[in-house]
Structure 1
Amino acid sequence: MTSEISGTGRTFGRVGIWSGALHASRVDDAGRKAITEALAELDALGYGTVWIGGSPTPGDAAAVVAATRSITVATGILSIWNHTAEEVAAAVSAIDPGERRRFVLGLGVSHGPMVPQYAKPYSAMVGYLDALDAAEPSVGAGHRVLAALGPKMLGLAADRALGAHPYLVTTEHTAEAREALGPDAVLAPELTVVLDTDLDRARSTARTMLDRYLQLPNYTANLLRLGFTEDDFEGGGSVRLLDALFALGDAEQVVGRAGEYLDAGADHVALQVLTAEEGGGGLPRTEWRALAEAFGDGL
């Protein structure tokens, strides 16, 4: 029998931060210093979880764990096509044992247009989870979450993981996901935020991000299932679509939008802050501070 890396020993908290700028493997020494300082602040601000977005490597995840002290660290999402289960299990086992309980492995199947070898995503995920279970040491269900949109993958997330981390979803999807997962699995959707009280400008900023996701069939198919139409995808997204997918406005409005996801069945909401200047690629520490102040004890 294989030994198992123990599952996370803490909750995700109600609110976390999702960022695609936490990849130490993609930046120079100055960039790594900036990431380390930003992570220390997120830890101190009281967020429950930091999500490493944008297909991180196992090394990126280990670096974030090493740079933090109390916050839960999760990958959001590591692509199963980029790293073998054995590589991932070895990397997780190399994290300091005293800190490993704060780490959660978020896994996803990515998208056909982005992965040449993409095929049978559900079966591929099942095989990957089997390989994680069989690795020495294994990374068991108590230590992982799945990127899941449709019913089959949500069911797998309930059966073979802590739960699900859906990306680019509405409150209606959150309610459906909760029903599919059952009452006990973790549901931690991502919610993109634009802190701008000029709604026309905020929607323009949101469209710069949304347009590229509307080229990916997994997302558009999910939105069509939720009642949107092809017309909603034109021009980077209709107002109806933008207002359903994003939190736009000041920090208090973001608190309200996050509350809608929590009321719909989410256990945790992962906030991705998008700024016009950075295009979502920077470290928006001013916005992270403003949101932490607005949420207060609600984090």
Structure 2
Amino acid sequence: MALGRLGVWYSTDKLNGSQLGELMKTVEGNGYSAFWYPESRGYESMSLATHLLSKSSKLTIGSSIANIYARDSYTAKRALVSLNDWYDGRFILGLGVSHIPMVEGVRGHHYDKPIPAMRAYLDGINKDVPAGEELPVVVAALGPKMLALSGEKSQGAVPYNVTPRHTKQAAAILGPDKILAVEQKVTIETDAHRARTLGRKELARYMVLPNYRNNWLREGFTEADLANGGSDRFIDAMCLWGDADTVKKGLRAHFEAGATHVCLQPVHADGDFAARDRMLAALADT
């Protein structure tokens, strides 16, 4: 799958159907190549993909991520094949192991060891795929072992909540000819206090999840950086802020580190979709 340089990641659960359609027009109209969406407590991933694909004409739509505990590998594969048949090959299936609270607390499943669980799932996805053919599948990978598995059994990785330092390490592990689609939160805000307040609010739900915390510690952040809502150093890395040129420079750092695609996530005050759309317009030429 030809995945362009720049995409958008956005939390779709906060929008209704018509708002999702308007967002697709905005993303596509600004020239972004892809739109990525999560699967959390709201919309079901494959039905949401159908809606997003129907509301766009050129965008690649990517799940980032579809929870492997939400459907078996056979069902996920059939959805992948069906969506690409119906919508001109514009769907890419991003898979992830999610987190214990979402798997056990919300879905009522047992959370297995991540690497064996993902390996078995990818084996199911790849079953009966002809030799030399590769399905448009990528994996939410943070640690070295999951990144290596992504390179071995899929088209690449979709890391979330990472820095260019992680991007450089991920590119080295994945090797050449693999997708490395990196998410980066951004806000065009020049006031440090307002920018960091937005960043802290956006990151709060992730900072209690061990998968992310462990990766941030591997990246060189400390427990002190992760305490009390996050240090300024940590927040500034996780949510780029400043004027448009400053934010673009931060986004380009991921490309310089080896990313093949960067999906920016606009961070804004609740309900301020006009600010979101201004950011998407201002950063489209990164």
Q: Note if 1:32 corresponds to 2:17.
A: yes
RMSD, aligned CA: 2.1
Q: Tell me how far apart the structure 2 counterparts of residues 276 and 286 of structure 1 sit (CA, whole Å).
A: 8
Consecutive unaligned residues in structure 2, runs of 5 or more: 105-109
Is the aligned partner of 1:107 residue 2:100?
no
The separation in 1 between residues aligned to 2:39 and 2:76, in whole angstroms, is 16
C-alpha separation in 2, matches of 1:211 and 1:95: 34
Residues 256 and 97 of structure 1: CA distance in aligned 2, closer, same or farther (over 3 Å): same
Does structure 2 retain, via aligned residues, the 8 Å contact 1:59–1:91?
no
In 2, the alpha carbon distance for the partners of 1:250 and 1:45 equals 19
SS at match of 1:83: coil
Q: Residue 145 of structure 1 aligns to a residue in which SS?
A: strand
- Secondary structure of the residue aligned to 2:169 is helix
Alpha-carbon deviation of 1:19? 1.0
The separation in 1 between residues aligned to 2:154 and 2:144, in whole angstroms, is 15
TM-score by length of 2: 0.90
Partner of 2:281: 292
What percent identity do the matched residue pairs reach?
Answer: 38
- Residue in 2 that maps onto 1:172: 165
TM-score, L = length of structure 1: 0.86
CA distance in 1, matches of 2:165, 2:58: 32
Question: Is it true that 1:77 corresponds to 2:65 in the alignment?
Answer: yes
Give the residue type in structure 2 aligned to 1:19. Answer: Y
Per-residue CA deviation, residues 208-250 of structure 1 (Å, 9 max, x unaligned), is: 1212211001111111111111111111110111112221122
8 A contact 1:193–1:248 mirrored in 2? yes
Could you list the structure 1 runs, at least 4 aligned residues long, displaced by more than 4 angstroms after superposition: none
Q: Deviations over 1:161-185 (max 9, x none)?
A: 1111000001111111111111221
Which residue of structure 2 aligns with residue 265 of structure 1?
258
Residue in structure 2 matched with residue 16 of structure 1 by the alignment: 7
The 3-state SS of whatever aligns with 1:95 is helix
Please tell me whether the aligned partners of residues 89 and 135 of structure 1 are also in contact (alpha carbons under 8 angstroms): no
Structure 1 residues 130, 257: CA separation in 2 closer, same or farther (over 3 Å shift)? same
Structure 2 distance, partners of 1:95, 1:185, is 22
Alignment partner, residue 44 of structure 1:
29
Question: Which of 156, 159, 178 in structure 1 is aligned with 2:152?
Answer: 159
> Deviations for 1:120-172, whole angstroms, at most 9, x for unmatched residues?
111111111111123799xx743111000011110111111111100000111
Q: What residue number does 1:147 align with? A: 140
TM-fit CA distance, 1:286: 4.5
Task: Quote the offset at 1:34 in angstroms.
Answer: 1.8
Distance in 1 (alpha carbons) for counterparts of 2:207 and 2:190: 25
Which whole-Å CA distance do the structure 1 matches of 2:6 and 2:278 have between them?
Answer: 13
**Does residue 198 of the first structure (1) align with residue 183 of the second (2)?**
no
Find the aligned partners of 1:236 and 1:171 in 2 and give their Cα distance: 22
Structure 1 residues not aligned, in runs of 5+: 1-7
CA distance in 1, matches of 2:159, 2:143: 10
Aligned length: 276
Secondary structure in structure 1 of the residue aligned to 2:217: helix
SS of residue matched to 1:189? strand
The yes-or-no answer on 1:224 pairing with 2:224 is no
Q: Is the 8 A contact 1:129 1:160 kept in 2?
A: yes
